[in-house]
């Protein structure tokens, strides 16, 4: 989804609502058989620890370095139950080879919300989208959207290559681009234009991450 299309949806969300009780339940608990993806990527176990560094250069107004750094830390803490060890380098500390660099860019993010380049170990956040969020949405809502983007892209580095079909998952896409729609426990819970996706990983996000990163079972001795 393009940055402008995403912003239009968020502007509609400012006047829309969701049934918080149903959404909260979906975030907190993952029922058997609920995990499903769009099959648009491949999940793969990752090698820990994952080391992250934040470069605040080029950050748009409304997103001071301390705020975004805290959002990265919050996302890593929320992903921690997956069992993959992580390190977030202090601001300004030189990063060694292999460190995942989180930075602001638009040439690398192709105008989308954000982009993860696993091979280059780079997570790019869209400067233009964040600027529009700051200009057109209340600060708490704009910050929540950037938190969601950070959490989502970090999830790719945890090995979640495919996007979830559960609307509420932080790893979700609402559609598959071919007419398919994400799933809800209660279709009436999400209003048209409302943001339903969680800003941090849900129970199903964590369960899926655990499944692909679970330690290999050693063969039983005889």
Q: What is the 3-state secondary structure (H, E, C) of 140-158?
A: HHHHHHHHHHHHHHHHHHC
Q: In this predicted structure, what is the pLDDT of residue 15?
A: 36
pLDDT bin (cut points 50, 70, 90) of residue 14 is very low
pLDDT-based confidence at residue 200 (cuts at 50, 70, 90): very high
Task: Report the distance separating Cα 124 and Cα 113, nearest Å.
Answer: 9
The crossing angle, in degrees rounded to 10, of helices 139-157 and 3-13 is 130
Per-residue model confidence (pLDDT) at position 114 = 86
pLDDT band at 37 (very low <50, low <70, confident <90, very high): very high
* Res 177: pLDDT: 84
pLDDT of residue 192: 75
Report the alpha-carbon distance of residue 46 to residue 168 in Å, rounded: 24
* Phi and psi, residue 101, nearest 5°: -95, 120
Query: What are the beta bridge partners of residue 2?
Result: 112
pTM for the full predicted model: 0.87
Which of the 8 DSSP states describes residue 120?
Answer: T
Alpha-carbon distance of 23 to 168, in angstroms, equals 7
Average the pLDDT over 20-39 and give the result.
94
Give the C-alpha separation, 92 to 168, whole Å: 34
CB atoms within 10 A of CB 139: 11
Stretch 18-40: mean pLDDT? 91
> Which run of H or E residues covers position 11?
helix 3-13
Structure confidence at residue 11 (pLDDT): 47
pLDDT band at 182 (very low <50, low <70, confident <90, very high): very high
- Segment 214-219 shows an average pLDDT of 63
**Hey, what's the torsion of the CAs at 195, 196, 200, 201, to 10 degrees?**
-150
- Percent of the chain exceeding pLDDT 90 equals 75
Q: What does the pLDDT look like over 85-117, one tens digit per residue? A: 999 999 999 999 999 999 999 855 455 678 999
The DSSP output letter for 6 is: H
Q: What are the extents of the domains in the chain?
A: 3-213
pLDDT confidence tier of residue 13, bands split at 50, 70 and 90: very low
3-213 CATH fold:
Collagenase (Catalytic Domain) (3.40.390)
């Amino acid at each position: 989804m393009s940055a402008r299309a995403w912003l239009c949806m968020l502007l509609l969300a400012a006047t829309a609502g969701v049934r918080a009780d149903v959404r909260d339940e979906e975030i907190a608990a993952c029922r058997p058989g609920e995990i499903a993806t769009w099959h648009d990527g491949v999940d793969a176990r990752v090698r820990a620890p994952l080391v992250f560094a934040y470069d605040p250069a080029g950050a748009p107004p409304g997103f001071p370095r301390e705020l975004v750094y805290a959002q990265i830390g919050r996302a890593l803490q929320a992903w921690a139950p997956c069992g993959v060890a992580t390190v977030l380098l202090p601001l300004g500390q030189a990063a060694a080879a292999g460190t995942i660099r989180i930075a602001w860019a638009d040439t690398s993010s192709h105008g989308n919300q954000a982009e993860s380049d696993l091979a280059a170990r780079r997570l790019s956040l869209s400067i233009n989208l964040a600027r529009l969020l700051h200009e057109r949405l209340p600060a708490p809502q704009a910050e929540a959207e950037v938190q969601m983007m950070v959490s989502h892209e970090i999830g790719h580095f945890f090995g979640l290559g495919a996007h979830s079909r559960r609307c509420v998952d932080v790893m979700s896409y609402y559609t598959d681009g071919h007419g398919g729609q994400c799933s809800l426990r209660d279709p009436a819970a999400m209003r048209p234009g409302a943001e339903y996706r969680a800003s941090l990983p849900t129970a199903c996000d964590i369960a899926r991450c655990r499944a692909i990163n679970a330690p290999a079972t050693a063969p039983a001795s005889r």
